Structure 1
Amino acid sequence: MGMREAVDQVVHEAELQLTDGTWELAVTDSDLARQAAAALTDAVGPVDAHQALPRIERLAALREALAALALTVARTHGHLAWFLADASSHLTPVLHWRALDAPDDRTFGAVLPADDELADAEAAIRLLAAILARISQDA
């Protein structure tokens, strides 16, 4: 299962919890969700523009998105933290990716991602940004 598909399952669970009232977004969480959505959108821009970037910039943007998610998780508790932590856990392969060649193969296990893996991670980030923006407006 790809990252986007895994994150989609987490998003689906969040939508169910929001719909059935299990998760009621507090005002402070709504503000954090809005800020996280903006940070994710800033990090991973529109598909066409982002895919035209060099691999090193695409990877840097994905790492920036992961950092924004980590900071948001650190600033909250409860459902929003659980949701973002679960979604983030599906994006951890990004942390093992590298953009530079390593002729001596001494990379601490880092691997070069395929273009479709980069695109999959970027799509997962865009999905998270979209739901965070939506739920922050609904609260």
Structure 2
Amino acid sequence: MENIGAEIEELVKEAERLIRDHVWVLSFDDRTVAAKAAADLLAAVGNPETQQSLPEVERLEHLREALAAVAIALAHVHGRLAWFLGAAATALSPVLHWRAMPAEDGATFGAVPPSLEEYVEAEEAIRRLQSILASITIA
């Protein structure tokens, strides 16, 4: 099992350090893209109670929407924000190999059903990512 949460947490800590040490100075455009990404992530994966009440198919759909939001933001930036978002997309990439539907007798192209704990971990990682993106828009 990949540790999505730990990978995102390490990225967030590095980003916070770089910003705090003034190594990473965000431009107006970076802040604009980060704000849009933060809003999109919040819309994709809301509060834990709501997410946990959804069927697994919808939870997985929301996780993939969040990954798409990160990829779209990545397409609009360069430099450190692009590197950060690229690493975040890589950390979240296991959700691309998850499936919420039964395989029946067909091939799954390597897709596997995640555990409920993996859903929770990925959702929490996205909330953490959303939090840092929202905070850097006002830093």
TM-score, normalised relative to structure 1? 0.97
Give 1:8's aligned amino acid: E
Residue 109 of structure 1 is matched in structure 2 by: 110
The count of aligned residue pairs is 138
Say whether residues 1:120 and 2:121 are aligned partners: yes
Query: In the aligned structure 1, how far is the partner of 2:3 from the partner of 2:103?
Result: 26
What is the RMSD of the two structures over their aligned residues, measured on CA atoms?
0.8
Letter in 1 for 2:135: R
- Cα offset for 1:43? 0.1
Q: Give the % identical residues.
A: 48
- The answer (yes or no) to whether the contact 2:8–2:125 under 8 Å persists in 1 is yes
Partner of 2:57: 56
- Aligned equivalent of 1:45: 46
After TM superposition, what 4+ stretches of structure 1 lie above 6 angstroms from structure 2?
A: none
Alignment of 1:6-17 (within 5 A): 6-17=7-18
2:30 corresponds in structure 1 to: 29
Partner amino acid, structure 2, of 1:50 = Q
Structure 1 distance, partners of 2:111, 2:131, is 29
Q: CA deviation at 1:27?
A: 0.4
Cα separation, 2, equivalents of 1:72 and 1:101? 32
Q: Is 2:85 the counterpart of 1:84?
A: yes
**Cα displacement (A) at 1:103:** 1.6
1:65 to partner: Cα distance = 0.3
Residue deviations 1:88-114 (CA, integer Å, cap 9, x gap): 111111000011001215100000010
- Partners of 1:97 and 1:18 lie apart in 2 by 34
Partners of 1:137 and 1:16 in 2: CA distance: 16
Verify the 8 A CA contact 2:70 2:88 in the aligned structure 1.
no
Gaps of 5+ in 2: none
TM superposition shift of 1:2: 1.6
